[in-house]
Chains A and B, each alone.
Chain A
Amino acid sequence: MSLPRPRLDALGAVLVAAGAAALFFLPFVVFKSNRIVPGDPRTLGAVLTGWGALGCEAALALAAAAALWIADARVRLVLALTGVVAVALAAAAAGNALTPPGNLVVRIAPGAAFWTLLICLGLLATDATTRLRPGPALRVLLLAGSLGIVGLSLAHGTFDHLSVMREYAVNAARFARELRQHLALAFGSLAAAVIVGLPLGILCHRLPRLRPGVLTTLNIIQTIPAIALFGILMAPLGALAAAVPLADRLGIRGIGAAPAVVALFLYSLLPIVANTVAGLKRVSRSAVEAAHGMGMTARQVLLGVELLLALPVILTGIRVVLVQNIGMVTVAALIGGGGLGAFVFQGIGQTAIDLVLLGAIPIVTLAFSAALVLDALVEAMDRVKASA
């Protein structure tokens, strides 16, 4: 009796085909003599020799085999992650190999093959992780672990010769400042929106007559594009700064962070208010009645029962707002608000893709992390509620 032929995994086949095509036909890195020229492509084979190349290719071959034939999700995940590490290290090594010693002008940029391989391996890892269905705590742990490893290797200098890190080296102090600014704007506007939006939501829930008016107004605000709202607020805030010197000294000016924060605050109100109302609506009437019946005051019922039970939905609203705001703060750079968007737009203006990446990669990482952590929090709360 012959062994049954192992079934080919459909997703794996697609990913392996794409990855292999990229590896052989697309450039792995791009050698640029300075930061502005387009540069020449180099394939992986041309850049790495000896053990390095062998190691990288072996890791990729293993990952491909797992993708095609192995059904065990844990094996797929481990081999995919190994592939990612191999590709990253190969890029770093390419950077080291192609940079003449002491030369600070040359830029080695990751090429199309690098990104394609990263995406394919990433999809493989994501698919495997989703199949394993890790709990919320484990997911946050995995995120922290990955970020930690990446952070350590960046600090250690492994990737120093790659173009993005070169840009960072030039802009290091500014990067730290803009990153802080970005986080301050995103979280600041979120905090303000929660402080105002939560009570407003509770009010709308208690007085249904208010709901259409409030929600429609907030909806209309949402339809005004971000940059327009930023711009519209500049004039009144500028006038305010001119009229009230205290405001100017506090930093509330027509340009800069103030219009951005106010605009983001207004944008964030709708998800918070809408989700607060929706969350409170879903709280079971019998639980509230029982609480009243036990002698809890209205305030105790609100804080101890209703808000607690509505929390998952409210947190979902906060998650939406945080991710949205992290993205929109990028645009605030256009009106002088600072933040990582400054790098993005400067890079677009100078056609320096590495500068764009210097801004874009942290923004995307922040957005993902925020989404993952808050989703995990919501799921953890739902589980607690379910088991209670």
Chain B
Amino acid sequence: MSVLRPATVLRVAALALLIAFLVTPQSFAPLFAPLTQYGAPPIYDQGNLLTLALAQLGTVCVAAAASTVVAVGLGVLVTRQRGAQFLPLSRTLVNIGQTFPPVAVLAVAVPLVGFGERPTLIALFAYGLLPIFENTLVGLRTCPPAVLEAASGMGLSARQRLFAVELPLAMPLILEGVRLSLVINVGTATIGSTVAAKGLGEVIIAGLLSSNTAFILQGGLLTGLMAILLYDALSALERRLLRTLTLD
């Protein structure tokens, strides 16, 4: 039996803690009781924590999926001969997406698409484009030229070359971009609760409004824990992929 590394132990413990708290929050009540005043409820009781956590995760994943499709698509487009003219503009646009504070995007999107999940999705989508786009560019551009030439020389059509050679080889970098984007957005998504999107931000804001530090901590720690575990899981996936593709 292999020796359990301390990192693995921590990982499993964190995951167990997260699941335990989401499934049976009340059992942690004694931990949070000292943080409340005047007999306020120590555990968030205006909604199911598990549902909220999943809702937040869901929003983040949908936004990440949209960002990935658009960013990778754009990255592929501008690395083709015919699309090269769009590269500077695409870069600028994606940069703008990240410079626009997500709160501002949220605020401006609300009158257009209403409250709830939709403005949050738009804000997260715009914010998450840059890491994926830049990484797609680097990944596609650093494909070893000999491999690309051999692929053409063997008779792969341009489309086959893209899907069988270029994208698989760029995958580790693209995945790293998606990971960065996802993890940042898990935290950013809490702001969506200011416009009534379902998520752990609700817990935090309830805490802010009623000065209940226990609520604030619950919301914050749960989000943080989710983000860390996601980061970790995707890192492991990336490492696996990189091992098969030692391009050095």
Contact = CB atoms under 8 A, between A and B. Distances in A.
A–B: direct contact at CB < 8 Å: yes
A353 B92 contact: no
Contacts of B189: 225
Query: Interface on chain A toward B: helix, strand, loop, or mixed SS?
Result: helix
B223 A348 contact: no
B75 interface: no
A330 B186 contact: no
Contact of B186 (A223, A357, A359): A223
A219 to B, nearest CB: 8
A215 interface: no
B83 to A, nearest CB: 9
Interface in B186-232: 186-191, 194-195, 200-201, 204-205, 207-208, 211, 213, 216-217, 219-221, 223-224, 227-228, 231
Interface stretch (A99-107, A296-304, A321-329): A321-329
B16 to A, nearest CB: 18
Interface stretch (A58-66, A145-153, A190-198, A229-237): A229-237
Interface string A324-366: 0011101100110000010011011001010011011001100
Interface stretch (A89-97, A122-130, A164-172): A122-130
A207 interface: no
A356 B186 CA distance: 24
Given A227-B190, A231-B216, A348 B103 contact: no
A225 B101 contact: no
A206 interface: no
Contacts of B194: 334, 345, 348
A211 B96 CA distance: 32
A7 to B, nearest CB: 11
Contacts of B223: 223-225, 228
Interface string A114-141: 0000000001001100110000000000
Contacts of A363: 101, 103-104
Contact of B89 (A123, A224, A229): A123
Contacts of A357: 108
Contact of A225 (B35, B91, B188): B188
B88 A228 contact: no
A143 interface: no
A130 B88 contact: yes
A226 interface: yes
A225 B100 contact: no
A272 interface: no
Contacts of A123: 89, 93
B183 A356 contact: no
Contacts of A360: 104, 107-108
B28 interface: no
A326 B101 contact: yes
A335 B209 CA distance: 9
B236 to A, nearest CB: 16
B151 interface: no
How extensive is the interface on chain A, given as a class?
35 or more
A228 B220 contact: yes
A226 B99 contact: no
Contacts of A225: 187-191, 200-201, 204, 219-220, 223-224
B6 interface: no
- From B101, B186, B221, name the one whose CB has the most chain A CB atoms within 10 angstroms: B101
Nearest to B223: A225
B111 interface: yes
Interface in B107-141: 107-108, 110-111
Interface in A254-272: none
Contact of A226 (B95, B98, B191): B191
A23 interface: no
Nearest to A347: B107
B220 to A, nearest CB: 3
Nearest to A334: B208
Contact of A231 (B111, B213, B228): B213
B177 interface: no
A226 B92 contact: no
A371 interface: yes
B190 A348 contact: no
Contacts of B100: 364, 367
Given A220-B224, A367-B99, A356 B111 contact: yes
10 pairs of A and B residues whose beta carbons are closest in the complex: A327-B101, A228-B220, A231-B216, A223-B227, A130-B88, A225-B190, A225-B187, A353-B111, A330-B103, A224-B224
Given A228-B204, A228-B221, 5 more contacts: A130-B89, A225-B219, A228-B220, A330-B101, A341-B103
30 contacts: A10-B86, A127-B89, A130-B89, A223-B187, A223-B224, A223-B228, A225-B190, A225-B191, A225-B200, A227-B191, A229-B220, A231-B220, A234-B208, A330-B101, A330-B103, A330-B104, A331-B103, A331-B191, A334-B205, A335-B208, A341-B103, A348-B107, A348-B194, A348-B195, A353-B111, A356-B107, A356-B110, A356-B111, A367-B99, A368-B99
